[in-house]
Amino acid sequence: AAGISGAPAPFDKGGVKLALVSYLSAGDFFQAYQAGAEAQAKALGADLRIFPGRQNAAEQREQILQAINLGVQAIIVDHGLPESLSDVVQQALDKGIKVVAFDVNLNNPKITQIEQSDHKLAESALNQALKDNGAAFKAGYVYVAGFAPLDRRNEVWDKVKAANPGIVEAARFGVVSDTTATSTADQAKAALRANPDISVVFAPYDEFARGVKLAAVDLGIADKLKIYSADISTADIQEIVEPGSPWVATAATNPAVVGAVSIRAAALQIAGETLPQTIVVEPVLVTQQQLRDAGVTTIEDLAKKIPAFSTSAAATATWIPLAAF
């Protein structure tokens, strides 16, 4: 690939090799994240090797070792289980390979951590839930422990419950797999049948929200339930705005932007720049009402209405051409 005129080495000459090693690939968020990473790598003239995530910790370890053997200059680790990654990531660092982590706490000062502001994301979704429903309701909560973003969002859920004793968590469920939405739907159906007084579900991952919506529609209770989530995609927007949808608000970043920020952070490190330990991409709250009022039906429409949604100033430099979304 061609180099970038005026860029620091090695980007002036081109041919920089990067690897993106994911734990999860299924679902809109991860596909858009990957597309953003690919677009930013292309804009940088870098070769990006993507290793597909299959929720398999052993395979992700193996893929990191493969990336090391390919001679990449940086590895972006996207989600995963810290305990199964720290030694192979250390091997990469020992070979002079830069490492950037998205949504997995690798607890190493040499590794820049990218995250959405998960606390803010959960706070905005839950503030909307309190605004719409008051401070006393029976809730369903979708959570799987062990994923850094979900654990951070869970801290906020615990705080909101402690501050509002009228919120009663009547059921907790959730599964993360390559069929997250349908598997969560099965669990949601059982939970909603057993707790017909649940009126609010906090489902802070769009695949969770999709599953709960599916369950509510199948049970014929969509008009009695309100779902508050995280993440957004064109498919999500269409599910949110459809008539009678119980999915009323979501707090989200543009995952393509997060993918691009991850690549830029890796590029800056390769170019020898010192980065902050943590780089945060800020989310925005999007409600069903706003989407319907503005006639938004796609992510592209949303980016036109909220310019901040299609770009981030994080990990930028004058020599880095920004990927366009």
Q: Which residues bind ligand SR1 (CB under 6 A)?
A: 29, 103, 116, 147, 149-150, 176, 205, 230-231
Measured from the CB atom, is 16 or 115 closer to ligand SR1? 115
Instruction: Please report how close the Cβ of residue 295 comes to ligand SR1 at its closest, in angstroms.
Output: 25
- Cβ atoms 219, 194 nearer than 8 A: no
Closer to ligand SR1 by CB, 11 or 205: give it: 205
Residue (150 or 314) nearer to ligand SR1, CB: 150
Closest contact distance (angstroms) between CB of 120 and ligand SR1 is 12
Q: Closest Cα partner for 253 from 281, 288, 229?
A: 281
Residue 38 vs 103, nearer CB to ligand SR1: 103
Q: For residues 73 and 250, which CB has a smaller minimum distance to ligand SR1 in the complex?
A: 250
> Among 122, 106, 103, 116, which residue's Cα sits nearest to residue 24?
103
According to DSSP, residue 323 is labeled P
CB of 195 to ligand SR1, least distance (A): 24
**Bridge partner residues of 276 (DSSP):** none
The upper half-sphere exposure of residue 251, i.e. CA atoms within 13 Å in the direction of its Cβ, equals 22
Alpha carbon 58 to its chain centroid, in Å, reads 22
The number of beta carbons lying within 10 Å of the beta carbon of residue 111 is 23
Q: What are phi and psi of 177, to 5 degrees?
A: -155, -170
CB of 115 to ligand SR1, least distance (A): 8
Closer to ligand SR1 by Cβ: residue 73 or 229? 229
Give least dist CB 281 to ligand SR1, A. 10
User: Per the structure block, which two tokens stand in for 236?
Assistant: 């999500």
User: What is the closest distance, in whole angstroms, from the C-beta atom of residue 36 to ligand SR1 in the complex?
Assistant: 13
Cβ atoms 111, 99 nearer than 8 A: yes
